[in-house]
Amino acid sequence: MRSMSSWIAGFAVALMVLGLGSPKVEAQQREVSTADRIAMLYAPQLNFTRSGDPLIRLGLLEGRNEVQFTPSETIRLMPQGPGGPEVELPGETTYTVTIEDGKGGDYKHWVTVDRLSMDQRNRSDDIIEEWTRRGYEPETFEVGGHFAIHGEVFDSRTLLVAVGGTDTRAEAHGIRRNLQAQYGIDGELHSQRLSYPSGRFSFRGEGLGFTVRHDDVLWVSSRAGREESIQYSIPGIPESYGQGTETRSYTGELIFAPDQNGRIAVLNNLGAERVLKGTVPSEIFASAPAGALRAQAIAARNYIFSSIGVRNLADPFMLRSDIYDQVYGGINAEDPRTSAAVDATRGEVMLAGNRIVNATYSSNSGGFTENNENVWDSKAQDHLRGRIDIFDDQAPAAFRGGITEDNIEDFLASDFPAFSREAPVSSANNYRWSATAGPDDVRRWLKERDQDVGVIRDVEILSRGVSGRIIRLQVQGSEGTQVVERELNVRRLFGGLRSGLFVMDIDRDESGMVREFQFRGAGFGHGVGMCQTGAIGMADQGVEHADILNHYYRDIDVRKLY
């Protein structure tokens, strides 16, 4: 093993050979400039690992002025990225990256009110006219593109219709809250980048006695061929579902770039299949049958590729590693069972034509899945049609056409063997549930949205989706009425119900005032796309993953991209 003094001496010699100067370094320009390197981080292009996997840049951390990491073995510091100057540095040493003179980029922030696939773009004029009548000045943005993977071309192009164009994210979030309250739209933010953020990075190793400085970007990699063997231990990663932080381990490459506010963004550059191995265990029970794990692996792979060039366009990463995209827990989250499912479905995705579909899923459908437009106020997508959660020839005739106000009581009382009921996992317990809420819960939610109607007197269900989920109801109070739109808002109105698929009884006192709302419901989540519990139930009956996917997603093909 090399001594620390020999590493330091070797580093100093390497600096001179590479033309990087003395131990306090100003890294020079090479054939590809720093500006080019930054632009490449934001470009929705695909590069590949040695084994042919598309490389995915994941955002691990943002908003820090200092980040530390400890590699398990020798690293290469590449100030300008692959192909530029590089220096080998020792493993099992703690390295610190700081940023100086950080400057945020310039942005306009929009709230997406609709999104259209390219074959739906002729509808955009009508949507623009509708939002103009509502008092907004909508803009359209074409995002995504055509991508080729080993000769297979797919299309992720999407047309966004958005309103706002604010200078700050806080202002855009205010518009988003208003849209949610008024129209039931839970619109995503689309940030339009006008100029790149910038900053000067300093890189130093504990006990090594030198500092490397470079503008705007730093790359760290393993020795060649060790990209998926090296481990980087990084403290301070936000917990996925908590308020604290934790230390996680990653492999692949690390990239340091300025975030939107001129602080440090830490990126993990890693092959898509390895990303999935650290993602799928966070999405489904690792103990589930192989068919369900494989279906989940494909759905998660679809999410990755349908998001490239569509999400996070104002950031140097393709996807976030948290709940806002898909939770990536690093290599310590990997499980042999889910890793085997990823390997067994390597490169497989669901396509409609040459379009990689948005593979939405939820925990438990409660026996019937829902149409996407009833949940998110978006245009209907052919592959996201609601259906009963059982084989068609076993479905009770009364429920095949959908759940309505006339048959919902019978549906909730029915004991037909839905996949989401029969699955041998704890999430099957959410197939049916009961809950209560008070009138104060309802009034509090409305007040938070400046929709106070006074003392709550009554609630009337106005419409349900095909699955029976409530998508519109009216609250009557002593000072007026208010209509609540969309399934998620209905759930939040009553303090956070498990789903919008329920019937409701109102308990009143002797004077007729509301004392309590009582619910009998079904399912957990929005119900659109694949029911994860149902997928486990199907797999437990021996159904293969492709048939599971074709049950929950209509008119799709499972094809191998690489």
Q: What is the DSSP string of 68-121?
A: EEEESS-EEEETT-TTS--EEE-SS--EEEEEEEEE--EEEEEEEEEEEEGGGG
What are the distances in angstroms from CA 521 to CA 195, 367, 435, 437?
49, 11, 8, 13
How is the chain split among helix, strand and coil, in percent rounded to 5? Answer: 30, 35, 40
Tokens of 240: 């996925």
Residue of 204, 208, 222, 211 whose CA lies nearest to 3: 208
Residue where the block lists tokens 């330091």: 8
3-class SS at 404?
coil
Q: If we measure between CA atoms, which residue out of 134, 115, 423, 453 comes closest to residue 292?
A: 423
Residue 49 and residue 302: Cα distance in Å, rounded? 19
pLDDT of residue 82: 86
Question: Residue 126 forms beta bridges with which residues?
Answer: none
Among the residues of 246-398, which ranges form H helices? Answer: 272-277, 280-283, 290-307, 336-344, 372-376
Task: Single out the residue of 524, 518, 528, 471 nearest to residue 498, CA to CA.
Answer: 524
Answer for the pair 502, 431: CB distance below 8 angstroms, yes or no.
no
Q: Which two tokens stand for residue 153?
A: 């071309």
Residue 475 contacts residue 456 (beta carbons within 8 Å) = yes
Distance CA 277, CA 338 (A): 7
Q: Is the dihedral of CA 429, 357, 186, 386 positive or negative?
A: negative
Neighbouring C-beta atoms of residue 15, cutoff 10 Å: 20
| pLDDT at res. 27 | 43
**Nearest alpha-carbon partner for 456 in 445, 442, 473:** 442
d(CA 557, CA 562): 15
DSSP string, 191-253: EEEEE--EEEEEEEETTT--EEEEES-EEEEESTT-TTT--EEEEEEEPSSSSSEEEEEE-SE
Q: How far is CA 498 from CA 362, 413, 420, 431, 487, in A?
A: 11, 18, 15, 10, 11
Ramachandran region, residue 548 (left: φ > 0; alpha: ψ -120 to 50; beta: rest): alpha
SS3 state of residue 319: strand
Helix (H, G, I), strand (E, B) or coil at 255: strand
* Dist. CA 4–CA 8, nearest whole Å: 6
Q: What domains are defined for the chain? A: 4-104+197-344 (no CATH), 106-195 (3.30.70)
In single-letter form, the type of residue at position 9 comes to: A
pLDDT score for 33: 67
For residues 426 and 534, the answer to whether their CB atoms sit within 8 Å is no
CA 367 vs. chain centroid, Å, equals 25
Residue 313: how many other CB atoms lie within 10 Å: 17
Virtual CA dihedral for 228, 230, 235, 237, nearest 10 degrees?
Answer: 0
Tokens for 183, please give them.
């129209």
Other CB atoms within 10 Å distance of the CB of residue 61: 20
CA gap 535, 362 in Å, rounded: 11
Residue 9 is encoded by which pair of tokens?
């001496």
At 28 the pLDDT is 42
The pLDDT assigned to 2 comes to 56
pLDDT at 417: 97
For residue 71, CA distances in Å to 223, 231, 250 come to: 12, 6, 9
CA distance 195 to 217: 16
* pLDDT per residue of the chain (562 residues) written in tens, 0 to 9: 555 555 554 554 444 334 444 444 444 444 566 678 788 889 878 889 988 899 999 999 999 999 999 999 999 999 888 888 899 999 999 999 999 999 999 999 999 998 888 878 888 999 999 999 999 999 999 998 887 777 777 778 889 999 999 999 999 999 998 888 777 777 889 999 999 999 999 999 999 999 999 999 999 999 999 999 999 999 999 988 878 999 999 999 999 999 999 999 999 999 999 999 999 999 999 999 999 999 999 999 999 999 988 899 999 999 999 988 999 999 999 999 999 999 999 999 999 988 899 899 999 999 999 999 999 877 789 999 999 999 989 999 999 999 999 999 999 999 999 999 999 999 999 999 999 999 999 999 999 988 999 999 999 999 999 999 999 999 999 999 999 999 999 999 999 999 999 999 999 999 999 999 999 999 999 999 999 999 999 999 999 999 999 999 999 999 998 8
In whole angstroms, what is the distance from residue 191 CA to residue 182 CA? 22
Q: Answer for the pair 557, 154: CB distance below 8 angstroms, yes or no.
A: no
